[in-house]
Amino acid sequence: MSRTGKKPIAIPAGVTASLDGAIIAVTGPKGTLSIPKEAEVSYSLEDGQLSVRPANETKRARSFWGMQRTLIQNLVTGVTEGFTKTLVMTGVGYRASAQGQKLKLQLGYSHDIDIDVPQGIDIKTPDQTTIEISGIDRQAVGQIAAEIRRWRKPEPYKGKGIRYRGEFIFRKEGKKK
């Protein structure tokens, strides 16, 4: 039994959820998000709560049960609060600057790296070594953060690179004489 799937999803005031056809749509103050319904899962909307149950007792239905509940919860959180990821750059000469819908990175390569920011994602650089990525779609925010981090992953000897705020980098001891 899925402990996550058993909990009903509370729909806060100002947010509307609809179960039309094969799509679950959630509309709130920050925008509208939707995901396709899964055939192995049954959905019910009553008294300001959305419940998710497996449609049958197959292993596939039980597998999708908790995941679908979490995806719908992410839709509700996204349209009310939004999601934010913060990247921190460590290294001499590593800089970032947001210019409209582009992010310009200087990471020690012979050229600057220009990253196009997808629609619906907002990138801010409060200082030269911090990048704040925010948006209503959790998957899109995490994807663009991972793509930026991929340019210079943190290395274990000096800790240089791009890391998530709060991420622990396992440090290794260097060479000895």
Q: Are residues 106 and 135 in the same domain?
A: yes
Instruction: Please check whether residue 31 is in contact with residue 79, taking contact to mean a CB–CB distance below 8 angstroms.
Output: yes
Q: Are residues 64 and 98 in the same domain?
A: no
Q: What is the CATH number of the domain that holds 22?
A: 3.90.930.12
3-state secondary structure of 5: helix
Q: What is the pLDDT of residue 33?
A: 93
Q: Domain range spanning residue 75?
A: 3-80
Residue with tokens 């980098």: 169
User: What is the rounded CA–CA span in Å between residue 159 and residue 12?
Assistant: 42
**pLDDT, one tens digit for every residue, the chain (177 residues):** 567 888 899 999 999 999 888 899 999 999 999 999 988 899 998 888 999 999 888 888 888 898 999 999 999 999 999 999 999 999 999 999 999 899 999 999 999 999 999 999 999 999 999 999 999 999 999 999 999 999 999 999 998 999 999 999 999 998 887
Q: What is the pLDDT of residue 1?
A: 59
Inside any domain, residue 147 = yes
Task: Give the count of domains, the chain.
Answer: 2
Domain boundary among 52, 80, 108: 80
Domain boundary among 27, 53, 80: 80
Smallest CA-to-CA distance from 115 within 155, 74, 162, 76 is with 162
